[in-house]
């Protein structure tokens, strides 16, 4: 499946990647190969196949929630590079982003 150049450019922008022309061409080819495999899977008739979440029945791996002792905020934040009150302080990742 041929992938439009604009789609590759949009994906690179979303991923915040800058590739040289050779890398971009290689990525485009790899993405086209992946899309061809997806087309092959989409062509398979699965009308009589029941929906599953896992091919092997592993049972429920869940347990009841139980309240247990935990670290105090001071203990948990002892090695934090930066803190704001009782919280880890991290750089903002949302908001105004350069284009």
Using one digit for the tens of pLDDT, what is the confidence trace for 64-96? 899 999 999 999 999 999 999 999 999 888 876
Residue with the bigger pLDDT between 87 and 99: it is 87
Give dist(CA 96, CA 89) in Å, integer: 19
Give the Å distances, CA to CA, from 59 to 5, 53, 64: 46, 12, 15
CB atoms within 10 A of CB 28: 19
Distance of CA 84 to the CA centre of its chain: 28
The domain locations on the chain are: 5-42
Residue with the bigger pLDDT between 50 and 38: it is 38
Q: Is the separation of the CB atoms in 1 and 35 below 8 Å?
A: yes
**Residue 53 DSSP label:** S
């Amino acid at each position: 499946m041929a992938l439009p150049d604009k789609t590759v450019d949009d994906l690179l922008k979303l991923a915040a990647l800058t590739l040289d022309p050779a890398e971009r061409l290689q990525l485009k080819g790899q993405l086209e190969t992946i899309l061809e495999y997806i087309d092959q899977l989409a062509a398979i008739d699965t009308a009589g196949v029941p929906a599953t979440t896992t091919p092997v029945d592993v049972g429920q791996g869940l347990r009841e929630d139980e309240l247990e002792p935990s670290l105090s905020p001071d203990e948990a934040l002892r090695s934090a590079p930066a803190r704001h009150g009782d919280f880890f302080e991290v750089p903002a990742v949302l908001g105004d982003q350069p284009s």
